[in-house]
Amino acid sequence: MDFAFFVQVFINGLMLGLTYVLIASGFSLIYGIMRLLNFAHGEFYMLGAFATYLLSEHLGLDYFTALILSMIIIAGLGMLVYRFFFRPFRDQHDPSLVIALGIAMLIGGLALLIFGEKDKSVSPVVSGVIQILGATLSVERMVVIFSAILLMTALTLFIKFSKTGQAMRAVAQDREAAALQGIGVDSTFMLCMGISSALAGAAGALLAPLFFVNPFLGMHAVLKALVVVVIGGLGSIPGAIAGGLLLGFVESFGTTFLGDITEMMGFVMVMLVLLFRPQGLFGHG
């Protein structure tokens, strides 16, 4: 095992981690602001991939246009789902969980009916590999890494500095107080769903050319998202970033050095976090 090997493991962890961050950040945002565990989040990720597939492979659009359009479409879809399915149960904890599960099942089932179970692929836009300190990284993955960092930066800046972002944080902290201050809670929720779904869709779109697209991506994605945000702290974007990277590194090192026991790692980490620091690394309890 030489230095190049370790660099490779590190880069693998970074890549894996950033994909988790992309998927989990929207999930965390929804929980933080709306106090909802949106199990349908993974399905938006899957639909983002499918939207990109349809737009680029069937309509012939170039990849980047397809990416942006997919984000917009999925954002719209997310807002529709909120308006008609989530809003009526906004203040009820157990029912909103069940509805989210129901929507996840519905979207997953419909996608299977419409698209079929075969794996589809999106043609890669870039090709080739580069070498970094002896480790290999495909150019495709570099693009994803940069896009992920870009999106996360944009998100963090938005939440921190924009007026809407501040409104969102106010609602997250204390819904009633925010309402008293004249902040539209409902419109904030709507916007939150839109942004979060757009992020999920972007994740799906970015990863589609790297891997493949099928209707089953959603379940796996949302489970990972759950693990990430619990570790990082439900409702915290820095937490989602930290949690995602941590899970990525743990899984990368684990798979390489420990073998298939790594499958349990994520859940063990969840248990440990919930036992000793339930609010997660960055959460507020």
**Taking the complex as a whole, how short is the minimal distance between the CB of residue 110 and another protein, in angstroms?**
6
Q: How many helices (H) and strands (E) does the chain have?
A: 11, 2
Buried-exposed string 119-132: b where 16+ CB fall within 10 A, e elsewhere: ebebeeeeeeeeee
Residue 5 or residue 64: which is nearer to another protein going by CB? Answer: 5
Which residues within the stretch 35-64 sit at the binding site for another protein (CB under 8 A)? 37
Gap between the Cα atoms of 97 and 40, Å rounded: 10
Which residues within the stretch 88-107 sit at the binding site for another protein (CB under 8 A)? 88-89, 92-95, 97-99, 101-103, 105-106
The residues pairing with 131 across neighbouring beta strands, listed in sequence order, are: 136
Which residues within the stretch 218-277 sit at the binding site for another protein (CB under 8 A)? 219-220, 223, 226-227, 230, 234, 251-257, 259-264, 267-268, 270-271, 274-275
* Binding range to another protein, per CB under 8 A, among 71-79, 119-127, 163-171, 196-204: 119-127
Gap between the Cα atoms of 246 and 252, Å rounded: 10
**Taking the complex as a whole, how short is the minimal distance between the CB of residue 105 and another protein, in angstroms?**
4
**Taking the complex as a whole, how short is the minimal distance between the CB of residue 108 and another protein, in angstroms?**
7
Residue 116 or residue 184: which is nearer to another protein going by CB? Answer: 116
Which residues within the stretch 183-212 sit at the binding site for another protein (CB under 8 A)? 207, 210-212
Rounded (10°) angle between helices 217-232 and 3-34: 90
Other residues' Cβ atoms within 10 Å of the Cβ of residue 54: 19
Element (H or E) spanning 200, and its range?
helix 185-207
